[in-house]
Amino acid sequence: MTTLTHTVTGLALGKLMFNSIGAPAFYMDETTFVLYSGIISNFPDLNMLWKRNLHTHHDDLTHYPVIPFVLSMLFLVLSRFLIIPNELLIFPILWLIHLFLDLYGIRAGIHLFWPFNRHEVSLIKLEKIEKASITKKIDIALSNGQVVFELVALAVSITFLLT
Question: How far is 88 from 68, CA to CA, in rounded Å?
Answer: 12
Question: How far is 57 from 44, CA to CA, in rounded Å?
Answer: 9
Answer yes or no: are the C-beta atoms of 86 and 72 closer than 8 Å: no
Q: How many domains does the chain have?
A: 1
User: Is the peptide bond prior to 24 cis by the omega test (within 30 degrees of 0)?
Assistant: no
Question: How far is 22 from 16, CA to CA, in rounded Å?
Answer: 10
Provide the pLDDT for residue 86: 67
Would you write out the chain's pLDDT as a tens digit for each of its 163 residues?
A: 778 888 999 999 888 888 887 666 667 788 888 898 899 898 888 877 776 665 566 667 788 888 888 888 888 888 777 777 766 778 888 988 888 888 876 666 777 777 787 777 777 666 666 666 767 766 766 666 777 777 888 888 888 888 7
Provide the pLDDT for residue 75: 82
Q: pTM for this structure?
A: 0.77
β-strand partners of 121: 110
Question: How far is 106 from 7, CA to CA, in rounded Å?
Answer: 19
Instruction: Print the domain residue range for 125.
Output: 3-162
CA distances from 10 to 43, 63, 93, 101, 154 (A): 11, 16, 10, 11, 11
Nearest partner of 111 among 47, 59, 48, judged by Cα? 59
